[in-house]
Amino acid sequence: MHGEPPIKNWDGKMFCSETDAAITYRANETHGYMAAYTFTLVTDGWLDIIYNGHELTLQPDDLYIYSPGLPVTIVSASENYRGICLLADEETTFRTPSVRDLVSLAYNPLVQLHEPKLKLPPDVAHRLSQKMRDIIDIIHTDHIYKNEILQMLYGVFLLDMQSAQDQAFRHHRVPQRVEEIFLDFMRLLPHHFAAHHGIQFYAHRLHITDDYLSRIVRQVTGRTVVDYINQLLLMEASFLLRTTSLSITQIADRLHFADTPSFSKFFSRLKGVSPKKYRSR
């Protein structure tokens, strides 16, 4: 999470907590700053979110998976909404030894089901909820090997989630080539979005045409390649404006905009406020 931590005493690496409607609405306050993978398991009630411009309802035994860079807004929740939310920053997640391919793990629900959630069988949902509560217990201890235990528990949680995905996707397979291209694009994006703002670079790296990459991304997500690039640029720009003393010109240069006016126009269009005003809030 960029900016001020929303949770007291959180070290910014991993956090897990039971949540309700009031707590969940706070996610809107941090919209655009999330640099963490988030897993929300609904245990009671329902939750409505806007994901990729479409409304998505989460109900008991649904596991919602948030990946960095995706815009999400909490719309409404039932009074009895309850869930368990696990957050882990990208570095913590990529260090997990048991995760061979985090990108596939995070994006497969989107690729296979066209939405970032899994409907879990009750026994699987119960098993994952128990593992999340184990993480909560360890977070609130002073165990000498606390970080190591959390890393192991997180790894086991991800493996269980991967198993649940494999079962869910058994009857929802998209063509393997489509899946591979989309996931390869998502692997490239975090490393190159600041320097390369156009589709041509990514298509060239994937050895396909611009049109083909565009069709694949839209087929899988309904979004465009530029949507993904712009979202990451906006997140990085927001982070730099809020947490560094870099000038707006220096930020524009770091993100490879042609000039400061181009950056300011881009930021104002997507954020609804100028970089200067955003920084002064």
248: which 2 tokens?
């707006």
Question: CB-side exposure of 163: number of CA atoms within 13 Å?
Answer: 13
pLDDT tens digits along 137-168: 998 888 899 888 998 898 888 888 888 877 77
Distance CA 80, CA 26 (A): 17
pLDDT for residue 263 is more than 90: yes
Report pLDDT for 22: 87
Q: Which fold has domain 14-171?
A: Jelly Rolls (2.60.120)
Domain boundaries, the chain: 14-171, 177-280
Report pLDDT for 15: 87
> 182 with 224: CB under 8 angstroms?
no
> 65 with 38: CB under 8 angstroms?
yes
Bridge partners of 88, per DSSP, are 14, 37
Lowest mean pLDDT among 151-160, 172-181, 201-210: 172-181
Q: In the chain, pLDDT over 90 holds for what percent of residues?
A: 39
For the segment 183-209, the average pLDDT, to the nearest whole number, is: 92
pLDDT tens digits along 53-90: 678 899 999 999 887 666 678 899 999 999 999 988 76
Report pLDDT for 2: 39
Residue of 281, 208, 271, 273 lying closest to 242 (CA atoms): 281
Distance CA 176, CA 162 (A): 17
Q: In the chain, pLDDT over 70 holds for what percent of residues?
A: 80
41: which 2 tokens?
């398991």
pLDDT tens digits along 221-245: 778 899 889 988 988 898 888 888 9
pLDDT for residue 95 is more than 60: yes
Place of tokens 């920084």: 279
Residues 177-280: name the CATH superfamily. Homeodomain-like (1.10.10.60)
